[in-house]
Amino acid sequence: MSEYILNPAANVETIKHRDPEIAVHVVDDFLASPEQLVEYARRKAYFGQIGDDKTAYPGVRDRLPRHYERVMEKIIKRIYGDRKALIHRCMLSLTTLDSAQLSPAQRIPHTDAFGDDQYAAVHYLCGPPHGGTAIYRYLPRNMVRMRTGDREVVKEMLRQVQEHPQEHAGYIAGDTKFYKQELSINAKFNRLVLYPSNLLHCALLTSSDSLKQDISTGRLTVASFFQLDPGQRTSNNQTCAAAES
């Protein structure tokens, strides 16, 4: 595989929000040659079955080799400074699950972990027709982040899917009775979005093409998960069994 290279002209923007809990960074033109990664997905990646990665991600995935992790380490250092980073995994991802087949956890915003030292990133290898990523507030509790002590809140959210099916008919795509969309970041080819893993978020799926198992026209992304300053924070580093977008 060719070595992936961080684009020296990559533009990093910190998204300002009135709520300091919502901390999001957007990197445009992330890789110098993103087409290499698309070609890898097309020719070499092995996408198994939905659920093979042991998460609730509504699609198929394949883990990327160390080459990609190295370029992630470089952009993480540029954004977060000298805080030591531990990359958990970088997953080439293709959304494929029809809305009628979604589990309760896949119908609401989710977190990927509970710890404040855990972070996630989504790298878009598709364009604006595939929506983007949205950050949500859980209105009954006025919460945008879920921590270890909030496990009962997550259970409450899941119960509401069963009790109010009309409010959770498919992929969430905006405000509902229970959730307010606080921020949305549009999909753009070669755009990287980074955020805390315990921030309530969900993919914005705005096109039927986003559910096609087609590398060329589908919603192809890379989902990455990492920890900052491992070992220095001993609590709240558990992984949440939710969908990873």
Indicate whether 240 pLDDT > 50: no
Indicate whether 2 pLDDT > 70: no
Q: Under a CB-based contact definition with an 8 Å cutoff, are residues 230 and 117 in contact?
A: yes
- Can you name the residues that pair with 204 across neighbouring β-strands? 132
pLDDT tens for residues 141-183?
999 999 999 999 999 999 999 999 999 999 999 999 999 999 9
pLDDT tens for residues 89-126?
999 999 999 999 999 999 999 999 999 999 999 999 99
The pTM for the full model equals 0.92
pLDDT tens for residues 4-49?
999 999 999 999 999 999 999 999 999 999 999 999 999 999 999 9
Indicate whether 233 pLDDT > 80: no
HSE, CB side, 13 Å, CA atoms: give it for residue 204: 24
Indicate whether 185 pLDDT > 50: yes
pLDDT tens for residues 60-96?
999 999 999 999 999 999 999 988 999 999 999 999 9
Is the four-CA dihedral 139, 184, 25, 46 of positive or negative sign?
Answer: positive
| Residue length of the chain | 245
Please tell me the predicted confidence (pLDDT) of residue 245: 55
Q: Go through the domains of the chain in sequence order and give each one's CATH number.
A: 11-228 (2.60.120)
What does the DSSP assignment read for 18-66?
SSTT--EEEEES-BS-HHHHHHHHHHT-----TTTTSS--SEEEEE--H
